[in-house]
């Protein structure tokens, strides 16, 4: 069974340390392949990634949308060519791994695996704002539903391609009232009777922590996220450079850790020397 991690980047040299954290932490815990969709790379950047053991899929294009939005198209094209059975598609600059994420993805025959942020749309201003500006007719569909994050998604490669295609269609058809629409597209799909068998995981599962709402950022207490986590899931903690959930289990994946300076330093220092 072939497995792999895929992401999308531009400005490789500027962000090389972040790419090292993403790739090297994954290689420590998983035997899967690593592939990067690289937008507008230089030859030096491609050579550097190859020396790091990363397979590259370069594309040269005029960027008239954010990388978050256009990445879907090129990740689809790349995944369709790969011979993997299972894939994990994630953000790159703020994702690191503490345990093999495929242990959960390949379990029990699920088509797809996606993690919630643990907060409802009605409780989180940014996600609700995107929906109101780009998909106003879908606000009531998601208002009282949990937010699921498009920054970390996994599953059977062919099913993941199908999901990404639906996300791209919705992302590109949305009103351009907001420049990042891929996550809104995902949440619309999840609340409109999706066709796949989807494993939807919360922080108690210890698969992924989305630190923007689940970690002690500047907004953690002021916006009520701390209280919600205490009541629903238990609070995540950093213990000796490891992020654990409220039940004391280590998260497989930590996302958006760079929004918490202390966590960022402790989690990344061994990968960027």
Domain boundaries, the chain: 3-271
In tens, the pLDDT along 133-167 reads: 999 999 999 999 999 999 999 999 999 999 999 99
**Per-residue confidence (pLDDT) for residue 252, from 0 to 100:** 98
**Per-residue confidence (pLDDT) for residue 181, from 0 to 100:** 95
**Per-residue confidence (pLDDT) for residue 179, from 0 to 100:** 85
| CB-based contact 87:4 (threshold 8 Å) | yes
CATH assignment of 3-271, among 1.10.1740.10, 3.90.1170.30, 1.10.3720.10, 3.90.550.10: 3.90.550.10
- 117-131 per-residue burial string, b: 16 or more CB within 10 A, e: under 16: bbbbbebbebbbebb
Report how far residue 250's alpha carbon sits from residue 212's, in angstroms, rounded to the nearest whole number. Answer: 18
Inform me whether the pLDDT recorded for 203 exceeds 80: yes
Inform me whether the pLDDT recorded for 273 exceeds 90: no
**Per-residue confidence (pLDDT) for residue 111, from 0 to 100:** 98
Band the pLDDT of 63: cuts 50, 70, 90.
Answer: confident
Q: Which two tokens stand for residue 252?
A: 């497989």
Inform me whether the pLDDT recorded for 68 exceeds 90: no
**Per-residue confidence (pLDDT) for residue 143, from 0 to 100:** 98
CA distances from 63 to 47, 71, 151 (A): 23, 10, 20
In tens, the pLDDT along 75-118 reads: 999 999 999 999 999 999 999 999 999 999 998 889 999 999 99
Q: Which two tokens stand for residue 8?
A: 């999308």
**Per-residue confidence (pLDDT) for residue 239, from 0 to 100:** 97
The proportion of the chain whose per-residue pLDDT surpasses 70, expressed as a percent, equals 99
Q: What are phi and psi of 192, to 5 degrees?
A: -125, 50
In tens, the pLDDT along 16-51 reads: 999 999 999 999 999 999 999 999 999 999 999 999
Nearest residue to 260 via CA among 232, 231, 235: 235
CA 124, 130, 135, 136 torsion-angle sign: positive
The reported pTM is 0.96
Average pLDDT over residues 168-172: 95
Report how far residue 33's alpha carbon sits from residue 23's, in angstroms, rounded to the nearest whole number. Answer: 10
Band the pLDDT of 66: cuts 50, 70, 90.
Answer: confident
Strands 242-244 and 237-239: what pairing? antiparallel
Report how far residue 158's alpha carbon sits from residue 148's, in angstroms, rounded to the nearest whole number. Answer: 20
């Amino acid at each position: 069974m072939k497995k792999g991690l895929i992401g999308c980047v531009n400005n490789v040299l500027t962000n090389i340390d972040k790419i090292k954290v993403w790739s090297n932490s994954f290689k420590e815990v998983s035997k899967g392949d690593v592939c990067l969709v690289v937008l507008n790379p230089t030859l030096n950047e491609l050579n550097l990634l190859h020396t790091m053991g990363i397979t590259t899929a370069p594309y040269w294009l005029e960027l008239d949308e954010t990388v978050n939005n256009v990445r879907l198209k090129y990740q689809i094209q790349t995944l369709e060519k790969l011979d993997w059975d299972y894939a994990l598609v994630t953000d790159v600059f703020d994702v690191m791994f503490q345990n093999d994420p495929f242990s959960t993805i390949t379990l029990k025959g699920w088509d797809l695996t996606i993690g919630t942020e643990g907060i409802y749309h009605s409780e989180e201003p940014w996600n609700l704002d995107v929906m109101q500006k780009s998909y106003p007719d879908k606000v009531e569909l998601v208002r009282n539903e949990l937010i699921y994050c498009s920054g970390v998604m996994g599953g059977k490669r062919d099913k993941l391609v199908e999901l990404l295609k639906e996300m791209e269609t919705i992302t590109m058809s949305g009103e351009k009232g907001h420049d990042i629409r891929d996550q809104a597209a995902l949440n619309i799909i999840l609340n409109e009777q999706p066709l796949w068998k989807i494993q939807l995981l919360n922080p108690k599962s210890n698969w992924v922590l989305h630190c923007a709402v689940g970690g002690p950022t500047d907004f953690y207490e002021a916006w009520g996220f701390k209280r919600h986590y205490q009541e629903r899931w238990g609070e995540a903690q950093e213990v000796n450079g490891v992020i654990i959930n409220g039940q004391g289990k280590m998260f497989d994946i930590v996302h958006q850790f760079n929004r918490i300076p202390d966590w960022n330093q402790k989690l990344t220092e061994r990968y960027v020397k």
